[in-house]
């Protein structure tokens, strides 16, 4: 059930300039599932809330990672411990579906800030997890240690070759798939990356699930601002029917 809650900021760190890693107190954390998001009010001067993916959740705390890309996110990035956040959540009717128990691993693929909503899935998967993360350069890398601590294999790619593999996440993913039988692929990141991951999953016949990010006003399916077209010419909404979709359903 969606709840409105006034949450206290417990800690803030800045893994790189323009990005804040924020932990808040939240009773709603108990019901949070991997892939869901929060809708956060960003000060008194901004009417619209901002959708922020849940990075991790414990019994009474939640963690979010926010990048300064506009007025609302800039307000969030500048929060301090002791500040209060007006939070609606957890939102998203379709979170990541946990994999089947057993020895068959899963593959997570994250691009940029899209790595954040994959962390809770990695921790709760209950099966071996391999992860491939992509960033434009070394100075933009986030959450590397967090994933290293909970995954069996971690690969980091950079577009400019300044760290890890010089190239795309799909290059590494395809190599891993050739050596490992994954039961599913889960991805979040920029649309061009997700399109490439969807094509890869379809080509190798592995179920592939993508978490889509979209601008939205209400977060609960009323404004219809986060519509995504499907291959059968329907429109679904990221906030109400997502944010996680079967990659085969999306009209890329």
Average pLDDT for residues 33-56, to the nearest whole number?
94
State the burial class of residue 152 (Cβ atoms within 10 Å of its Cβ: 0-12, 13-18, 19+). exposed
Q: CB count, 10 Å around CB of 192?
A: 11
> 3-state SS string over 150-207?
HCCEEEEEECCCCCCEECCHHHHHHHHHHHCCCCEEEEECCHHHHHHHHHHHHHHCCC
Residue 206 has pLDDT above 80, yes or no: yes
What is residue 179's predicted lDDT score, i.e. its pLDDT?
93
**Maximal CA-CA distance, the chain:** 53
Residue 25 has pLDDT above 90, yes or no: yes
Q: Which residue has the tokens 């109400």?
A: 240
Average pLDDT for residues 78-97, to the nearest whole number?
96
Q: What are 45-87's pLDDT values in tens digits?
A: 888 899 999 999 999 999 999 999 999 999 999 999 999 999 9
Ranges assigned E (strand) in 54-182:
56-57, 61-67, 84-91, 106-111, 129-135, 153-158, 165-166
Q: What are 153-189's pLDDT values in tens digits?
A: 999 999 999 999 999 999 999 999 999 989 999 999 9
In sign, the C-alpha dihedral spanning 221, 247, 209, 153 is negative
DSSP element (H, E) containing 214: none
Cα→Cα distances 2→23, 27, 47, 61, 225, Å:
19, 12, 20, 16, 19
Residues sharing a CB contact under 8 Å with residue 115, sequence separation 6 or more, in sequence order: 133, 142, 143, 147, 188, 189
Pick the closest to residue 65 from 149, 3, 157, 147 (CA basis): 147
Residue 19 has pLDDT above 70, yes or no: yes
Helix, strand, coil percentages, rounded to 5, for the chain: 25, 35, 40
CB 22 within 8 A of CB 11: yes
Average pLDDT for residues 87-91, to the nearest whole number?
95
Average pLDDT for residues 32-40, to the nearest whole number?
97
What is residue 18's predicted lDDT score, i.e. its pLDDT?
95
Residues sharing a CB contact under 8 Å with residue 20, sequence separation 6 or more, in sequence order: 12, 13, 14, 65, 66, 76, 77, 78, 79
Q: What are 210-235's pLDDT values in tens digits?
A: 999 876 666 666 676 788 888 998 88
**CA dist., res. 247 & res. 252, Å (int):** 9
User: The pTM is what?
Assistant: 0.95
Average pLDDT for residues 225-246, to the nearest whole number?
88
What is residue 26's predicted lDDT score, i.e. its pLDDT?
97
Q: Which residue has the higher pLDDT, 248 or 223?
A: 248
What is residue 3's predicted lDDT score, i.e. its pLDDT?
86
In sign, the C-alpha dihedral spanning 161, 162, 163, 168 is negative
**CA dist., res. 125 & res. 173, Å (int):** 19
């Amino acid at each position: 059930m969606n709840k409105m809650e006034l949450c206290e900021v417990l800690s803030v760190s800045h893994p790189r300039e323009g990005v804040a890693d924020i932990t808040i107190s939240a009773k709603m954390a108990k019901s949070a599932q991997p892939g869901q998001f929060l809708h956060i009010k960003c000060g008194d001067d901004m009417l619209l809330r901002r959708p922020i993916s849940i990075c991790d959740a414990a019994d009474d705390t939640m963690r979010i990672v926010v990048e300064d890309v506009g007025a609302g996110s800039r307000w969030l990035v500048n929060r301090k411990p002791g500040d209060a956040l007006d939070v609606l959540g957890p939102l998203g009717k379709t979170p990541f579906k946990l994999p089947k128990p057993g020895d068959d691993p899963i593959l997570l693929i994250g691009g940029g800030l899209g790595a954040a909503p994959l962390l809770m899935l990695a921790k709760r998967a209950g099966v071996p997890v391999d992860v491939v993360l992509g960033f434009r350069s070394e100075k933009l890398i986030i959450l590397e240690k967090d994933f290293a601590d909970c995954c069996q294999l971690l690969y980091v790619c950079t577009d400019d070759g300044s760290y890890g593999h010089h190239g795309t996440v799909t290059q590494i993913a395809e190599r891993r798939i050739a050596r490992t039988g994954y039961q599913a692929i889960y991805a979040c990141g920029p649309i061009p990356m997700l399109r490439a991951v969807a094509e890869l999953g379809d080509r190798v016949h592995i179920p592939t699930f993508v978490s889509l990010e979209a601008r939205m006003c209400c977060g609960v399916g009323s404004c219809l601002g986060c519509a995504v077209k499907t291959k059968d010419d329907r429109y679904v909404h990221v906030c109400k029917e997502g944010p996680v979709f079967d990659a085969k359903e999306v009209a890329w």
